[in-house]
Chains A and B, each alone.
Chain A
Amino acid sequence: MPRNRKKHDSPLSVGSWIRAVLLCLFLGGTAMGYVWQKSQIHQIGTEVRKKEVRLELLKGDNERWQQVRAEMRSTQNLYDRVRKLGLGLTMPQPEQVLRLSDLPLDAKELKQSKPGEYRTVANKPRRKRP
């Protein structure tokens, strides 16, 4: 009997079987794809969140270092450091300041400079405006 059943003509043709299988594969693949895509979205979302937290921490660090830099650069701190380290730094006196006036090469005559003023001649002549 089983042999005979095997010999019976199947009500479904091979083509139908293939279509059914393909349909199942398509549906299964779509479902898998959907789940995979959802998983990816979730994973990316988690990564985004982690990165946001990291960004927030880095911003916090940045602010902390900015504050440290601001404190180190504060006038009071600089004066205290100079005093503490005994560097002997003082503000320049006017007689210690050399003033340089850069004259163009084509200057007809060098004017008399004031005491303490040093005049130089520019290496390149001034470019004329087009």
Chain B
Amino acid sequence: MMLVSLITAGYVGLGVRLVDIQVLQHDKHAAHALDNTRRKVIQASRRGDILDIRGTVLATSRIAKTVCADPSLMGTHQQLVARAIAPFLGRGETDLAKRMQRRVYTDAEGRQREDKHVVLKRKVLLEDWRGITNALAHIEFGVDVKSLPRKERLKYYNVRRSVFCERIDSQLRVYPSGNLAAHVTGFVGVRDPEGSSVPMVGLEGKHGIEIMLDSELEGVRGWRETETDRSRREVVAFREYNVKPRDGMNVVLTIDANVQYIVEKGLEALCAKHTPASACIVVVNPRTGAILALANRPTFDPNKPGDSNAANRRNRVITDVFEPGSTFKIVAVSGALNEGVVRLHDRFHCENGRLYFAGKVLRDHHAYGELSVREIITKSSNIGTAKVAMKLGASRLHKYISELGFGQRSGVPLPGEVRGILHPVRNWSKLSISRIPMGHEIAATPLQLVMAMSAMANGGNLMRPLLVDRLVDRDGNVVMQYEPTVVRKVIHDETAQQMVKTLITVVSAEGTARQAWLENYTVAGKTGTAQKPSKTRRGYEAGKYFSSFIGFLPAENPKLCIGVFVDEPHNGHYGGVVAAPTFKVIAEKSANYLGLEASMPVKPMSEQKPRVVLR
């Protein structure tokens, strides 16, 4: 009877406990059980590629792993594990073994905890990770593990699984062409999940197109809710939600990698010869505003952006402003021609090189007498340009400067573009009307100057710089096509034609840019040599110049507009001496590469002297 009572009481107790667990504490235990098996896995999307107009890859992504270790599972085999995996991680064995030593830390509640998650290396490529898993599977412990008792065997088994990778894949951004178009592509960095709107670690654009089109390149991440077994392997049958990631779009730029290469090489040669503080070159198709090449010196390698300083990473084509000097003369003269206040054959007396105006002397580099408007541009007379501008008037001059895009951002999709400096007419001094036309008292970016010259070349239309041609998905379907945009019509076609004819004379025997002359193409352009304003006092710095040449070809049907800008050159400082020869090299090679039709009649091969190619 006693026994029956005890058994009954036991059963009642068990029943009560059962009800307690299954009913009263159901939610708690169910949540705990789910927590043990349920996993939510974030699937990162693949960042899109950046391509040039011909499909050359400028930036691409590769799946990478973050390799971690749990030292608590290693026992005393750190050195053995380090030896096996060190070749794949590119780190020293000793360093790795030291990093995998067991260590204890104090958590927020003051408890001592063992560190079970040590990051060994981020961005480990998939093939290296495969090598690591293979090496771990074949570690030799010097004992026959299979013959050991289960408990001992488990220890060795744990050593093999002590190195693992994080569940979320990371990506490695690769720029196969190195520093080619580095300032255009930009670079990426690791997103800080706390400071970002997206609470997960991943890549984030930090510069160039990478930052401007970050959301398009990044894509949409996916996620999966699933369950795992005791060995933490996924049980696919219990997979509930599986939202696949949508890869980022590929960005196709208007940049042509070959033209870019020609430009980079030209810039390198220029820097070797003139050792400037900085230099930059922009190549634009004046009809569409498409940027074919954009290069800066100093530069950086986007694969290792941390190795360079901020000055190297600055895209001077849009972030730096300069007093442009004589290249700016095209604005005053085209404005005056457009308004009909002067004609090309009108003559102005250039005061034999010295003009007293508003208490100051305005000088020319040669003592010119009477010059026509065309000759003023050909010979780059400051006094002649000032007189033309005075005829145009301050307000109309300001209007043309403004309409040609100075003092406002061009809208190129690159970060850090500045407006430049253009003071309102009310703030102009008496001297301004004589100084601004020759490119002083105003500051412009190299890109603004090239776009203004492109407007002269294409019939008077100011184009918006086009850097992105299209966005395409992973299957190559065009998602978005960017079309050339005319910002405004600034000067009439006839005026533009007159300007082209005038600018052709600059690149001739009597002009300032004879070194930019090409054998097979008619070139039009304008040189610029500006003294640099002093940073410490009023006036200009002696011996410091900003030299430039902006030209286009073929002049009768322009396909290329090239701007060469050199800051503080040595071994010469005139734009015609420093910048024009580089223009010539780039223009000749680019025109040949693009197959531009020659302007001049081409002699048959038989009539030509043999050409010796020097290497």
Contact = CB atoms under 8 A, between A and B. Distances in A.
Contacts of B601: 114-116
B180 interface: yes
B592 A95 contact: no
Interface in A53-96: 56-57, 59-61, 63-64, 66-67, 70-71, 73-76, 79, 83, 88, 90-96
B261 A79 contact: yes
A76 B236 contact: no
B61 interface: yes
B520 A66 contact: no
Contacts of A110: none
Interface stretch (A5-13, A19-27, A38-46, A122-130): A38-46
A115 B602 CA distance: 6
Interface in B274-313: none
Contact of B592 (A60, A93, A114): A93
Contacts, number: 103
B258 A64 contact: no
Contacts of A79: 261
Contacts of B57: 66-67, 70, 73-74
Contact of A76 (B178, B237, B593): B178
Interface stretch (B97-105, B124-132, B371-379): B124-132
B176 A70 contact: yes
A97 B60 contact: no
A67 B80 CA distance: 33
A91 B56 CA distance: 19
A97 B177 contact: no
A61 B127 CA distance: 8
A42 B236 CA distance: 8
B452 interface: no
A58 to B, nearest CB: 10
A35 interface: no
A76 B127 contact: no
Contacts of A91: 589, 592-593
Contacts of B611: 93
B197 interface: no
B360 interface: no
Contact of A60 (B127, B260, B261, B589): B127
Contacts of B60: 63, 66-67, 70
A92 B239 CA distance: 61
Nearest to B177: A74
Contact of B597 (A56, A67, A99): A99
Nearest to A88: B613
A51 to B, nearest CB: 10
A76 B261 contact: yes
A116 B602 contact: yes
B30 interface: no
A48 interface: yes
Interface in B227-261: 233-237, 239, 257-258, 260-261
A49 B257 contact: no
B62 interface: yes
Interface string B575-596: 0000000000000010111010
B603 interface: yes
B177 A76 contact: yes
A95 B604 contact: yes
Contacts of B56: 70, 73-75
B592 A92 contact: yes
Contact of A49 (B234, B608, B613): B234
A76 B257 CA distance: 9
Nearest to B588: A91
A122 B30 CA distance: 80
A22 B553 CA distance: 94
Contacts of A96: 605
B598 A94 contact: yes
B174 interface: yes
A95 to B, nearest CB: 5
A62 to B, nearest CB: 10
Contact of A94 (B235, B520, B589): B520
Given A63-B62, A79-B261, A96-B605, A74 B592 contact: no
Contacts of B593: 91
A60 B126 contact: yes
B180 A64 contact: no
B592 A45 contact: no
B345 to A, nearest CB: 32
Given A45-B237, A67-B174, A76-B178, A95 B605 contact: yes
A42 B615 CA distance: 67
B321 interface: no
Contacts of B605: 95-96
A61 B520 CA distance: 48
Nearest to B256: A75
A45 B60 CA distance: 33
B118 interface: no
B63 interface: yes
Nearest to B599: A94
A68 B83 CA distance: 29
Contacts of A41: 237
Contact of A42 (B63, B126, B237): B237
A75 B603 contact: no
A82 to B, nearest CB: 10
A45 B595 CA distance: 58
A8 B488 CA distance: 114
B567 to A, nearest CB: 26
A109 B56 CA distance: 43
Contacts of B595: 92, 97
A92 B125 CA distance: 41
B486 to A, nearest CB: 30
Given A46-B236, A61-B126, A67-B60, 10 more contacts: A49-B233, A60-B63, A61-B127, A64-B62, A67-B57, A67-B62, A74-B57, A75-B257, A91-B589, A99-B597
Leading 4 A-B pairs by shortest Cβ distance: A45-B236, A60-B126, A70-B57, A75-B261
30 contacts: A41-B237, A44-B236, A45-B236, A45-B237, A46-B236, A49-B233, A49-B236, A60-B63, A60-B125, A63-B62, A64-B62, A66-B57, A67-B62, A70-B57, A70-B177, A74-B56, A74-B177, A74-B178, A75-B56, A75-B257, A75-B258, A75-B260, A91-B593, A93-B592, A95-B603, A95-B604, A95-B605, A95-B608, A96-B605, A116-B598
